[in-house]
Amino acid sequence: MGHVRDLPRGEFGVDVENGFTPKYVIPKEKIKSVNSLVKEAANIDHLWLATDPDREGEAIAWNLLEVINQKSTRPRPSRGEVGKAKSPKYDRVVFHEITRDAVIDAFGHPRKIDMDLVEAQQARRVLDRLVGYKLSPLLWKKVKSGLSAGRVQSVALRLVVDREREIEAFKSEEYWEVLIEVSKVTKVTKESKGGEKFVVKLIQINGEKAEIGNKDQAEKIVADLEKSQYKVTDVRTKDVKKYPSPPFTTSTLQQVASTKFGFTPKRTMRIAQDLYEHGLITYMRTDSVNLAPQAIEAARRYIEKTFGKKYLPNVARKYKVKSKLAQEAHEAIRPTNITVDSSQLTVDSSDHKKLYDLIWRRMVSCQTAEAVVAETQVDVEAVLVRGPVSRFLPASARSKQKSIRDQKDNVELRAVGNPFTTATPRIADILSIALAYELLHSFLLIHDDIIDESSTRRGRTTIHRRYEKKTSRHYGMSQAIVLGDIACFEALDLVNCSSFTDSQKVACFAKIISTIIETGYGEGLDVEYSNRWTNFNNIRQMTELKTAKYTFVGPLTVGAILGKANKSQIDALSKLGLLIGLAFQIQDDILGVFGKEKVVGKSVLGDLREGKNTLLIHKTKEMLSGKKREELARIWGKKNAGNRDLKRVQKLIINSGALFWAENEKAKLVKSAKVYIKSITRDNDLQSSFSELADFVITRDK
């Protein structure tokens, strides 16, 4: 039946000047029904008001009682009938499900009308009228006649407009993702095992996030991946708990019914109303996820009996909404009898069965134990193979910063020789030699960090500092020296365990040992020249020994030896490595003063405090004179130097012209290096790879 009184349709109906008092009238279509109720009320002594258990239902009960009191035809009590009222006595009863037990319980606990709920409904209705009647005429005048504004619809429209503006303001950028289907292979035959396939997503290229901006880039990557070999680098499995969803509220029921069945909100509520009136579900207008204790217990008994105790949590699940405005006294939408599933319904409509089944399943699942799912994450690395000898382009878990020796080894093998008939054994051997140089690099850096007293390298705590934190300074340095030495011998062992010929291994050992000796001399000179004036040629010689020999000359010439290069090719590669190595160190010198600490991964005050006599600083001293040169001498090597000192040094370097010299010098070195590239190989791809490597060395920011 709905509301028996409402604001008049043809007028404002709210007395704004007198406390926003509403003017109520009986709608024309309700007059007959209201008169019938008034007539019946005249013949009874007790009135039971059992309207819906919400704000609207409370208002309907109050309005009906008001109309009965106003229109009552009961005779006034005579003098002898003192105590009898003109209106019948009344009680308000509330139930959330139309079942025998619920109705009996409600009549056993009657109450009076809750005026707080009535006034809340009245305030909502007055607000509807205020907004609609005041704003709608403005819309007719400014936009279009026939439009209407409302307390809810206007706010909803604003949300839609704001979102649409965000969409219009959004600058879309094309992006592509690459997904690869891989399958497990046997270790012996390298053949795929049927059926064991899974899809992986490309997330990194050379250690950096894969950002693919157009179709051409995507196709090039796919072309490379099709030629690649894959290996699993890491497998992580963990148990993930998935908790059940809470029982339905009005809004969540409408959302899920729309998603699963395509029901409109209106259709969902009409069907839910029918189910409620047939006593099959609880009241369907609710924003609460609360459940009655007896309903929870009934669900737990049903789960244990039907599915088994293992599907039942130890403690009953109780849900609460986050909103402070939710009416927790109400219940969520649930079946009135959990033992009745949709197959037992007597209703003919399939829509009714669908919606009931949805509500029933949600109620059962919300009281079950959480699902425990084994979630496995697999990291797969792709290695690009070109021809019988390989060039490696890892798809993940490899950094592009300074770890580039493995690429140099393999590029050079491809350039100068092709002694093997199959690619597979060569990949493992090449990786062994590349890894040997990585270990050698680690060995040298551990010792270098001890000499420089560095606390971080590439954003991580250095080895000796890591051990110092746990014990003492002496212990930290001792452990670091030992670990560095182990890395050195592990490098030699990797070469020894490879399947290269004995003569090739001997040549490798000879080159690695000479690299260690030369780098050691360079490190010694670095210590000797710190905070001490010497000539530029000495600094250059030190740089060649301590940096260029192990970063570029060694890996490139070892690769050439293993590729059976001739002497002229090896000499050319050695000169190439020396030039790129010097350029590499000049870029390091620049980053050591002008780099961003978060990017470089170590303190930019390190070289300053240690008094490192780098090519850049030596050139600055040469180009300064008088007081400015003395100022640099005072600051450089100052143990407690701070950011203010650093900024002053930066200014001296720039003003002296030394930074300009360094930028030009590294560019000249790379240009000279590129001349040797063409004498080493005629392969365009490899020439391009060498050029990219040379350019990267002087443009990197870490």
Residue 469 has pLDDT above 60, yes or no: no
What are the two backbone dihedrals, phi and then psi, of residue 231, each rounded to the nearest 5 degrees? -145, 145
Instruction: Print burial letters for 21-43: b (CB count within 10 Å at least 16), e (below 16).
Output: ebebebeeebeeebeebbeebbe
Q: Are 621 and 629 in contact (CB under 8 A)?
A: yes
DSSP H or E segment with residue 107: helix 100-108
Q: Which residues contact 464 (CB under 8 A, 6 or more apart)?
A: 446, 449, 450, 476, 477, 479, 480
Catalytically annotated residue among 90, 283, 467, 550: 283
- Residue ranges of the domains in the chain? 1-172, 250-369, 399-699
Who wins on pLDDT, 73 or 180? 180
Most confident of 51-60, 478-487, 493-502, 534-543: 51-60
Q: Is 676 a catalytic site residue?
A: no
Question: Is a pLDDT exceeding 70 seen at residue 172?
Answer: yes
Say which CATH topology domain 1-172 has.
Answer: Rossmann fold (3.40.50)
What tens digit of pLDDT does each residue of 137-152 get?
888 888 888 888 888 8
Contact 575, 669 (CB under 8 A): no
The per-residue pLDDT for range 264-306, each reduced to its tens digit, is 999 999 999 999 999 999 999 999 999 999 999 999 999 999 9
> Where does 426-523 show beta strands of DSSP type E?
456-457, 460-461
Which range among 467-471, 522-526, 543-547 shows the weakest confidence by mean pLDDT? 467-471
Give the per-residue pLDDT at 429. 63
Helices (H), 278-404: 293-307, 350-365
* Cα-based torsion angle of the residue sequence 246, 248, 251, 256 in order, rounded to the nearest 10 degrees: 90
What fold characterizes domain 250-369? Topoisomerase I; domain 4 (1.10.290)
- What is residue 411's predicted lDDT score, i.e. its pLDDT? 40
Query: Residue 678: its pLDDT value, please?
Result: 75
Of the pLDDT bands very low, low, confident and very high (cuts 50, 70, 90), residue 356 is very high
Task: Look at residue 395 and tell me whether its pLDDT is greater than 70.
Answer: no
Considering only CA atoms, which of 65, 59, 77 is closest in space to residue 6?
Answer: 59
The average pLDDT across 399-404 equals 34
Whole-number pLDDT of residue 418 = 36
Fold of domain 399-699: Farnesyl Diphosphate Synthase (1.10.600)
Q: Average pLDDT of the chain?
A: 80
Cα(170)–Cα(172) distance, rounded to whole angstroms? 6
End-to-end Cα spacing for the chain: 76
pLDDT score recorded for residue 9: 85
Report field, pTM of the whole predicted structure over 0.75: no
- pLDDT confidence of residue 296: 95
Check residue 495 and give its pLDDT.
79
